[in-house]
Structure 1
Amino acid sequence: MRTFMHGAAVWDVACPRQPSQVAGLTMAGFRVRDLDALRMVPHPAVTLLLEFGPGAPVLDCAGGRQQRGSIVAGPGFGSGGAVRARGENVECVQVRLSPVIARAVLGASPADLDGAVVSLGDLWGREASRIREQLGEVPSWQGRFALTDALLARRYEVGARVDPEVAWAWHRIVRSRGMTRVDGLAAEVGWSRKRLWSRFRSQLGLPPKRAVRLVRFDHAAHRLVAGGSAAEVAAETGYADQSHLHRDVMTFTGATPATVADEPFLAVDDLAWPSRHGTTAWTSKATANGSRRRVPGSRPRTGRAG
């Protein structure tokens, strides 16, 4: 376990020594004595937060709504900067799921989350309480990661897969870092635009155009954290100009690029998610049903992954 220090934020962070059994699933462990109004910054993954410590995290959402304890949040959760996390003596395993595998793991489509957050207890019932107890009984972080991975891998094996065409379109968007022209995706998979848009939204939880914006924003936000100027980042990440970047950052976070560049939620990624620049938390090398990877630009066959 390593210590993350960023301004007033001091967190203990643990990472698994082994990759997950499931491509598109990554984890990190956090121990935070005093979590003080952390802005939740949207990213292109489904978030599963499994808490087990003496203190439960609290999410303050728009309209005064709160969520406590273990939660599930859809891709883009926190848009507008309206969600803050806080708590004392928080211990948790945070899981990031590619939207392509989220339906199988969760037993529900990310579309059911609608970019919001729900209690894990509401989704999994008593199983959520059992997981909390089991994590609390394991004495090491590597043991907790192994327990979590085994549980989620079992759920994935029996869960429903997304259409391979939908998975391919998602991977194309992610590999391009949000600089893919969405109008061409349907033609590339051999579907009508209406069919792809409908299936993409119902299975992954957001329409292709928003997926492109979210993936591009995430890449730009991390470039800002790495020290790039707004002008440089806008040019590198496909924005028309600096004003375009500013508008997108404000839409997703409710803050300026300069403020976002100093967000602990983003700055911790290099420590908590060291693989994000390789195989990221929201894509995978496999297609949705575990078959061999499709070569980008090839036309998939209906009903098959290859």
Structure 2
Amino acid sequence: MFTDIAMVAHPSVSLFIDLSEGEGLVHHTPGRHRRGSVVVGLLPGELRTGGLAGECLQIRLDPAAATAVLGTATELTGAVVSLADVWGRDAGRAEDRLRAAASWDERFTIARQILGRRLDTCPTVAPEVAFAWRQVRSSRGRTRVDRLADEVGWSRKRLSARFRSQLGITPKRAARLVRFDHAARLLAEGHAAAGVAGESGYVDQAHLHREVKSFTGHTPAAVAVAPWLAIDHVAWFGWPPGRTGPGFGGRALRDVRG
């Protein structure tokens, strides 16, 4: 059985580690496709992932952690790249170890070991940038950039420049992405668009519609019933525990942070 799943923007850098035998995962972006394990940066644009029945491990990295784990977050923004292009031979070694594991719990342990070593040895983002990102996430995208700059003791211009150079996205764009993610979660849970708009900090329902359209190419109504949004378990409400969707089994290790 072949599965084809539309994905949407998420405030994390995602690793899809293909643990399948044979054909495995196929990732489609306009005019191009990639097979196997990939890294999906922030704001990847139109992306569909599918494949024959098999297994994969999805790991979501906080952008600040992604800089250490992957060596960069900036160059991955708006892109979908092969994991081998980022990790070199280590990508194949990681796949082999994870594929040979006897259980998903063992795979999680191995994944944490791999990520932990990289977090301990690779450069990290500036503390001010990491703090600003955490504030954007905790406020669900409703913190003003001027306030963030004041809190870290930088000018707005300096914060925006450093934030973009280290995370690959401006603070303002990051806030929009996080706010959209919160709205997408609520839509997937079945909340009405009008209520979601107010809860998520949008001016009105039309504003929500424009933002959802900008990030996904779809209307809020379409997002609410999409088969998989790559946001959290509510997108798979009704599926048996441990299933990520029809035809392609897997697990997720979410929100790894620096």
Q: TM-score, normalized by length of structure 1?
A: 0.75
1:55-66 residue pairs with structure 2 within 5 A? 55-62=23-30, 64-66=31-33
Equivalent position amino acid for 2:129 in 1: V
Structure 2 matches for 1:204-215, cutoff 5 A?
204-215=167-178
> Which residue in the other structure is 2:133 paired with?
170
Shift of 1:281: 4.3
- Paired letter, 1:72: V
The whole-number CA distance in structure 1 between the counterparts of 2:80 and 2:215 is: 16
Q: Partner of 1:148 in structure 2? A: 111
> Does the CA contact (< 8 Å) of 1:103 and 1:203 recur in 2?
yes
Correspondence for 2:68 among 82, 89, 104: 104
1:241 corresponds in structure 2 to 204
Corresponding position of 1:115: 78
Q: What is the number of residues matched between the two proteins?
A: 241
C-alpha distance in structure 1 between counterparts of 2:143 and 2:231, whole Å: 28
How many angstroms apart in 2 are the aligned matches of 1:243 and 1:181?
22
Match of 1:201 in 2: 164
Kindly report which structure 2 residues correspond to 1:1-306, keeping only aligned pairs within 5 A, or say none: 34-36=2-4, 38-54=5-21, 55-62=23-30, 64-77=31-44, 79=45, 82-106=46-70, 108-266=71-229, 269-270=232-233, 281-282=254-255
On the 8 A contact 2:180/2:212 being kept in 1, the answer is: yes
1: distance between equivalents of 2:86 and 2:256? Answer: 24
In structure 2, C-alpha distance between the alignment counterparts of 1:245 and 1:192, rounded to whole Å: 30
Which residue identity does 2:42 align to in structure 1?
Answer: P
- The answer to whether the 8 Å contact 2:12/2:255 transfers is yes
Q: Is the 8 A contact 1:41 1:253 kept in 2?
A: yes
Give, in angstroms, the shift of residue 176 of structure 1: 0.7
Cα distance in 2, alignment partners of residues 264 and 218 from structure 1 = 16
Query: In the TM superposition, what whole-angstrom CA distance separates every residue of 1:208-260 from its partner, at most 9, and x where no partner exists?
Result: 01100000000001101111111100011100000000000000000000000
Q: CA deviation at 1:179?
A: 0.9
RMSD over aligned CA atoms reads 1.9
Q: For the Cα contact (< 8 Å) 2:69–2:119, is it kept in 1?
A: yes
Classify 1:267/1:46 alpha carbon distance in 2 versus 1 (closer, same or farther; 3 Å): closer
Partner SS state of residue 265, structure 1:
coil
1:84 maps to a residue whose letter is: R
Deviations, residues 160-186 of structure 1 (Å, cap 9, x unaligned): 111111111111111110111122211
Q: Which structure has the higher relative contact order (CA within 8 Å, separation 6+)?
A: 2
The answer to whether the Cα contact below 8 Å between 2:185 and 2:231 also exists between their aligned partners in 1 is no
Deviation of 1:76 after TM superposition, in Å, equals 2.4
Q: Provide, for residues 47-96 of structure 1, a one-character-per-residue CA deviation record: whole Å limited to 9, x for no partner.
A: 0111121132111101x21111111111222x3xx211111023111100
Contact 1:74 1:115 in 2 (8 A): yes
Q: Percent identity?
A: 51
Cα offset for 1:270? 2.2
